Amino acid sequence: MEDKWLKSSPSVYGQRVAWTGYSDGAQADLYLFDIETGLIRRLAQTAASELSPVLSAGRLLWVRRTDCDVNVMSSDGKPNIPETGVYVLGLDTGVEQKLTDYVEPVAFFDQDTVLVIEGCQVGFQAYVISLR
């Protein structure tokens, strides 16, 4: 992917590479590269930032987050609340699953277990989610 924007947080598993790309210098979106086919796919482009991709056997985990103390207003003066949380995508099925609704999550992935930490104005809380 040749452009002037920052790419960060690469995750590699088998023939796939996932990363966060900052397409406008601030907004973070999610990309997936298949080494075998040479195809790059933009997986997510939302008002929130897609961060911290983690690949595993047949799955991609990431967080969609925004600062919990910042409200973006729409043109009609109402708060524009983006979809945030922890997500997992079945790479072979194409099925996306939302695991949490947290605003500023951090997630760790090990096989079929996800550890989620949230610290948005509630003090830090940790949760374990099984994907079995």
Is it the case that residue 21 has pLDDT exceeding 70? yes
Decide if 67 is inside a domain: yes
- Phi and psi angles of residue 109, each rounded to the nearest 5 degrees, phi first: -130, 130
CATH number of the domain enclosing 47 = 2.120.10.30
Report pLDDT digits (tens) over 63-109.
887 766 666 667 787 766 667 888 999 988 989 888 887 777 778 87
Between residues 88 and 27, the one the model is more confident about: 88
Average pLDDT over residues 2-11: 73
Decide if 24 is inside a domain: yes
Q: For residue 122, what are its two tokens?
A: 């509630």
Decide if 125 is inside a domain: yes
Decide if 79 is inside a domain: yes
Q: For residue 131, what are its two tokens?
A: 């994907």
Segments forming the whole domain that contains residue 14: 7-130
129 vs 54: CA distance, rounded Å: 15
Decide if 11 is inside a domain: yes
User: Can you tell me whether residue 47 is helix, strand or coil?
Assistant: coil
| Band (128; pLDDT cuts 50, 70, 90) | confident
128 vs 12: CA distance, rounded Å: 23
Decide if 1 is inside a domain: no
Decide if 95 is inside a domain: yes
Decide if 112 is inside a domain: yes
Give the number of domains in the chain: 1
User: Can you tell me whether residue 24 is helix, strand or coil?
Assistant: coil
47 vs 30: CA distance, rounded Å: 12
